[in-house]
Amino acid sequence: MMDVGRHPRIKLLAYSEIEHVSGFIGNFNVKVRKKSRYVDEDECTACGDCVVDCPVSVPDEYQQGLSSRKAIYIQLPQAVPSAYLIDMQNCLGNNPIACGKCQDACEKKCINFDMQDEILNLEVGTIVVATGMSVYDPTEMDEFGYRSYENVITSMEFERLICAGGPADGHFVRPTDHTRPKKIAFIQCVGSRSENRGNPYCSNICCMNTIKDTLLLKDHYPDTESKVFYIDIRAFGKGFEDMFKRSKEKGVQYIRGIPGDVWEDPQTKSLFLAVEDTTSGKVEVHEAEMVVLSVGLEPRKDMKSLQQMLTLSSTSDGFLLESHPKLKPVDAPTRGIFYAGCVEAPKDVKDSVTQASAAAARASIILNAGRVKIEAITAMINTDLCNYCGRCAKVCPYHAITEADRKLGIYPKVIQAACAGCGTCGAECPTDAITMRHFTDRQIMAQVDSILETDNMNKIVAFACNWCSYAGGDLAGTSRLQYPTNVRLIRTMCSGRVDEKFVLHALRKGAPLVLVSGCHFADCHYINAVTWTQRRIERLWNKLERLGIRPERLQLEWISAAEGQKFSRVMKELEEMRKKVTEQEVKETMAILEKEDEKEKARKLKQQEVLQTA
């Protein structure tokens, strides 16, 4: 970090927050609030004279509240820049008459209570998101006694206690009597791998962190007795299995089972853990002088605002979704944005460093090239047909369409470098003013016509998105899974491209059944385009019912690229449904929709006449 701070081409903005991000790859504009430190960071030598005189004492967040800090402080000993800042919420007042002792103590006169936040507008080409994660708060798991007993601590608190720079200067002591505990119990998966409380996913780092902690204890205090209560130990990294073995060889006991209850002896403050050892099937009670809860990792609490600011998407666990899990694991779905570290998923230091290097390399490729190549599948707006409704800008997941202004006569404009080509704007445009290159209305309608030209009663028209459902069909094929051959797939880049009129056209042309299929919400390759598909299909179901057409004839399915079996099953189910659709029903549908089409054409003609007269 010191190197970063000194690097002539790296501008480090510590104690700052991003307020707004606009623009697109190569042309991002970032508004940064550089918060006021009330201490001149260039002048401060971190001598600490100010701290001595500060009368305020508050819990130190960095030391997990195990010690205190002053209102003027350095967040952590290794902070860069190494300069103090004043926590104004706890300072006795920025009026020097109220206190001002720090100001008096500072010989270099670095403290300025009138300092204001600074707003910086930065123009950048690429962005790397490395905002980290939060740690699970175990207070809701009362069976472990975290709220009730002082000697039950979290793994984060353990780190501070055993650290030489920690509140006990590296002397590992228990909070109640400041004596060294000789029997320590570690409980794994606290807040992880639970469907009921905490998070359902594995937090990746906790097993190895505990193994490391047990080894550290054995190194510092060989007479310590450590017991680890676990579901299973996940030591899958390079050298990790060796470390696990070494821990066992040094005498650490691993007991397969998570304690159901923890209670304290009020006299000795020792703790007792009731656990079922699942290897023997026996319920045992273990004594420990200290219990360490190995807490899991969570997405940051402010992840949602970050997501909105950068137009990013998240997976169901709340971490940010990558552009492609295998081929673009450090790229965000929005071009020019990359991920590093736990913002994408829980990971250890090694993986974070690897990902950070990859993100930096990916970003520098773009910056060095100075230009980006994009797929030609982008939207075009025909201003002759546009009515300034602004729907396209509203639905674009990438904010790639500028706002229209009817009064000023400003048409919406597609930023080609930002457009990812999902086609949602094209499907939602009420005046058909948007053309999607390579997936035009004409091209898709022609495919529908071709499918239903002959033997329409035996066909199923299925719209499948390129990334998931179509790939799911591919997988079904390569896996030799059987599915009915009368399903005709029409590929679109995203299910968001499937216009209402494509479905109605297929039904008007005699399709007994239509399927719209896309990615699961969490897998959507176009941030949230799939949500617009869902809205549109729901609208269509209502419309079909209003017209007297069974909504069941329009089916919706989310199939991922890995769900070849689901693809095959769904197609078989649809085929069974298709067989039940009678020729009479299809003919009636065709007549209803033909009539509707004529009405729509007459309405458009009248609209044009009104416009021409105006």
Partner 1 sequence: MAEQGKFKCLRCGHEYQDKFTPGVPQERSCPKCGSNSVRRIEEKSNIKKTS
Judged by CB, which is closer to partner 1: 201, or 558? 558
Distance CA 59, CA 78 (A): 19
To the nearest whole angstrom, how small is the minimum distance from the Cβ of residue 468 to partner 1?
A: 12
Nearest-Å Rg of the Cα atoms of the chain is: 31
Q: What is residue 403's DSSP assignment?
A: P
The distance of closest approach from Cβ of residue 203 to partner 1 in the complex, given in angstroms and rounded to an integer, is: 24
Shortest distance in whole angstroms from residue 65 CB to partner 1: 34
Q: How far is the CB of 535 from partner 1 (least distance, A)?
A: 6
The SS3 call for residue 410 is: strand
Shortest distance, position 571 Cβ to partner 1, whole Å: 12
Which residue, 550 or 604, is less far from partner 1 as judged by CB? 550
Shortest spacing between CB 558 and partner 1, in angstroms: 5
Q: Which residues bind partner 1 (CB under 8 A)?
A: 520-522, 531-532, 534-535, 538, 541, 551-552, 554-558, 570, 573, 577
Q: Which residue has the tokens 């605002």?
A: 305
For partner 1, the closer of residues 440 and 534 by Cβ is 534
How many CB atoms are located within 10 Å of the residue 293 CB? 27
Q: Please report how many Cα atoms fall inside a 13 Å half-sphere around the Cα of residue 346, on the Cβ side.
A: 21
- Enter the DSSP assignment of 320: B
Least gap, CB of 566 to partner 1 (angstroms):
8
Kind and range of the H or E element at 44? none
Angstrom distance (rounded) from CA 566 to CA 483: 10
Which CB sits closer to partner 1, 393 or 556? 556
Half-sphere exposure of 520 (CA within 13 A, CB side): 14
Minimum Å gap between C-beta 397 and partner 1 is 13
In this structure, the number of other CB atoms found within 10 A of the CB of residue 89 comes to 7
Nearer to partner 1, 329 or 551 (CB): 551
Comparing CB distances to partner 1, the nearer of 378 and 555 is 555
Closer Cβ to partner 1, 69 or 566, answer by number = 566
Contact criterion met (CB below 8 Å) for 563 and 457? no
| C-alpha dist (Å) from residue 357 to 184, 237, 327 | 38, 19, 16
Between 399 and 553, CB nearer to partner 1 = 553
Strand positions, DSSP E, 35-169: 58-59, 68-69, 72-73, 85-86, 118-124, 127-129, 134-135, 152-154
- Residue pair 255/228 in contact (Cβ under 8 Å)? The answer is yes
Angle between helices 500-508 and 529-547 (to 10 degrees): 40
